[in-house]
Structure 1
Amino acid sequence: MTATAYFAAGPARWDAYRPHLEQAFAELGLDVSLVNTAPDPAAIDYIIFAPGGDVEDFSPFTRTRAVLNLWAGVERIVGNPTLTQPLCRMVDPALTDGMVEWVTGHVLRHHLGIDGHILRQDGVWRAGEVPPLARERPVAILGLGELGRASAEALARLNFPVLGWSRSARTIEGIDCHSGDAGLEAVLRRAAIVVTLLPLTPDTENLLNATRLAWMPRGAVIINPGRGPIIDDEALLAALDSGQIGHATLDVFRVEPLPAGHPFWAHPRVTVTPHIAAETRPPSASRVIAENIRRDLAGEPLLHRVDRDRGY
């Protein structure tokens, strides 16, 4: 079957993705025409999408069989009332690897106190400032989807006691899993380092508010490579100022790029990174897109289809 895939992820991404998508289609033997314009929306079988791209109104795409998102997060599209076609989020092994490396690196950075050594090159030999072993420092992962599970398992292999929390119950070997409101409190009260990898939904927005930040052990660290609005910014700043939270390493924000005058930039207990924890990479993401098109054309279920009611 011949199909047409419309690359609606924006012209800036077209040159980076086109050769990889065409190669991935060829490797799977797919007869797919890849276009970056859609003069006739009714002739499009698949939309390859990214927020801020070329489509906001999906209603003219009457023949489209699926919208294939290049991002792991779908909060900027899932509520679009014109989107009636199946929506698939990006679950890419390279994206997962990138997130695991970023999370592991920053957990180890805080665990080992690396910042203190870098910032205090003052000629003072501070013998005896030895961090605890990993097995003595509990780390919590909030969100146990693809990225959260992989990060939790990587940290557990480094001997950290890993606490996991998700809205629905999960079981992961080697991870102390919790769910529900009581489970969240139990996890936060124990964790010296908290990593947030939750999807953004009405239930998770401002999840880490003043009350929940106060549950954490004094001086605990927050690492957020998930979604900016998971944390109440004003509550976090107050907790940082009081010392309740020792440091926050933030990769995602309510407004991106983070405005130049935002308090996070100048706060001595905040590290800002520019949304780089898990970038979608064209070669591997293209293979994911091609496989989903192959599956759909073969009558097989789409991978990573979004549950509209849950929002991810």
Structure 2
Amino acid sequence: MAIVIIRQDGKIEAWKKALKERNPSIAVYSYLEDHPKQDITMALIWKHPQGSLSVYPNLKCIASSGAGVDYIFEDASAPTDIPITRVVDPYLASDMSEHVLAVILAELKNFNSYKLQQVASDWKPKIYRRIKDVTVGIMGLGELGALTATDLMKFGFTVQGWSRSQKELKNVKTFAGSDTLDAFLQATEILVCLLPLTPDTEGILSKELFERLPKGAYVINVARGGHLVDRDLLEALDADHLSGACLDVYHQEPLPKDHPFWQHPKIFMTPHYASVSDTDSVVPQILENYDRLRMGKELLNKVNRKKGY
């Protein structure tokens, strides 16, 4: 039995080192080096090259090193008869919550606008808003969305959440299903997308949805680039229906240099770094599942293939 690490962000050796430090006896390979493909039983991956999973005849588990797994389902050549696991990392949730809070406060206090004015040497005070006067809507109430909603509520925001199935969160008004989406959107002044990317949620951040938000609403997408219809966002911003947007995820990453998002004054961008898996907290989960795989036990944090998350 052995693990192969497949990712394209230059972090293979760091993950390999972290695994070996906790279990020196384990066989771990980079997919870029020569390795015995027939020995590989677990693939630890993140946004792998499509087709790279199909070369392992004895693969028994695909382990995403992050919370998201949509990229696995996008690979038509990936095995469909073996379990997929994902990371449940408390740091992922808390880091995401802190990122969203920072973005919202920057928007309420006009920091993004003031930065543009600074570059233009333009002294122009703007009216700011207070936490108590703003309703934040969280789309997606999984681990990340639920903690973000709870933390924002503790800071004094009015928070509501929407998800496909009913969720209960203390002091957070929750909506479930497509029948309640209108009511949720109409009362949302700052919209945060933390949905899993599935066929049902792809392109959900579209003209139709933006038009259902109040005029002047602000949109934050920290989920997946596939949730957003880029041209619809640009049109909503240019028409002044939306006051602005903060994006951390994109259809293509890195974002092409000629993409209009780069120069748009109402779009604040971060490079898909709102919340990053921490090896210290993730590696024990990977090794636990590796041992479970070896002993034929049920794996932790398995993905429901029908739901896509």
Residue 243 (structure 2) pairs with residue 249 (structure 1):
no
1:40 pairs with 22, 36, 39, which one? 36
Deviation per residue, 1:199-234 (Å, 9 max, x gap): 111111111221210111111100111111212111
Deviation per residue, 1:162-217 (Å, 9 max, x gap): 11111122112222111111222111111110010111111111112212101111
For 1:51 and 1:120, locate their aligned partners in 2 and report how far apart those are by CA, in whole Å: 38
Q: What is the deviation of 1:71? A: 2.5
| Aligned partner of residue 203 in structure 1, secondary structure | coil
| Aligned partner of residue 12 in structure 1, secondary structure | coil
CA 1:249/1:33 → structure 2, altered by over 3 Å: closer, same or farther? same
For 1:255 and 1:57, locate their aligned partners in 2 and report how far apart those are by CA, in whole Å: 19
Alignment check: 8 A CA contact 2:188 2:217 kept: yes
For 1:232 and 1:223, locate their aligned partners in 2 and report how far apart those are by CA, in whole Å: 13
| Aligned partner of residue 110 in structure 1, secondary structure | helix
Higher mean C-alpha displacement, 182-191 vs 110-119 = 110-119
Residue number in structure 2 paired with 1:154:
151
Deviation per residue, 1:244-275 (Å, 9 max, x gap): 00001111111111111111111111111111
Alignment of 1:45-64 (within 5 A): 45-53=41-49, 56-64=51-59
Amino acid aligned to 2:142:
G
Alignment check: 8 A CA contact 1:48 1:70 kept: yes
Alignment check: 8 A CA contact 1:6 1:38 kept: no
2:286 pairs with 285, 289, 297, which one? 289
For 2:290 and 2:250, locate their aligned partners in 1 and report how far apart those are by CA, in whole Å: 32
Amino acid aligned to 1:4:
A
Q: What is the deviation of 1:124? A: 5.5
Residue 67 (structure 2) pairs with residue 72 (structure 1):
yes
Residue 261 (structure 2) pairs with residue 264 (structure 1):
yes
Residue number in structure 2 paired with 1:5:
3
1:172 pairs with 166, 169, 172, which one? 169
Q: Percent identity?
A: 32
| Aligned partner of residue 265 in structure 2, secondary structure | coil
Residue number in structure 1 paired with 2:187:
190
Amino acid aligned to 2:60:
R
Deviation per residue, 1:30-50 (Å, 9 max, x gap): x52222356432222221112
Residue 135 (structure 2) pairs with residue 138 (structure 1):
yes
Alignment check: 8 A CA contact 1:141 1:194 kept: yes
Number of aligned pairs? Answer: 303
Q: What is the deviation of 1:63? A: 3.0
RMSD in angstroms over aligned alpha carbons?
Answer: 2.3
Residue number in structure 2 paired with 1:238:
235
CA 1:229/1:149 → structure 2, altered by over 3 Å: closer, same or farther? same
* TM-score, scaled relative to structure 1: 0.88
For 1:208 and 1:220, locate their aligned partners in 2 and report how far apart those are by CA, in whole Å: 13
Amino acid aligned to 1:5:
I
* TM-score, scaled relative to structure 2: 0.89
Amino acid aligned to 1:189:
Q
Alignment check: 8 A CA contact 1:210 1:236 kept: yes
CA 1:8/1:209 → structure 2, altered by over 3 Å: closer, same or farther? closer
Residue number in structure 2 paired with 1:228:
225
Residue number in structure 1 paired with 2:89:
92
Alignment check: 8 A CA contact 1:197 1:225 kept: yes
Unpaired runs of 5+ residues, structure 2, are none
Higher mean C-alpha displacement, 210-219 vs 90-99 = 90-99
For 2:37 and 2:248, locate their aligned partners in 1 and report how far apart those are by CA, in whole Å: 36
Runs of at least 4 residues off by over 6 Å: none
Alignment check: 8 A CA contact 1:137 1:161 kept: yes
Unpaired runs of 5+ residues, structure 1, are none
Residue 96 (structure 2) pairs with residue 102 (structure 1):
no
For 2:272 and 2:244, locate their aligned partners in 1 and report how far apart those are by CA, in whole Å: 18
Q: What is the deviation of 1:7? A: 2.1
Alignment check: 8 A CA contact 1:17 1:283 kept: no
Using CA pairs under 8 Å that are at least 6 residues apart, name the structure with larger relative contact order, 1 or 2.
1
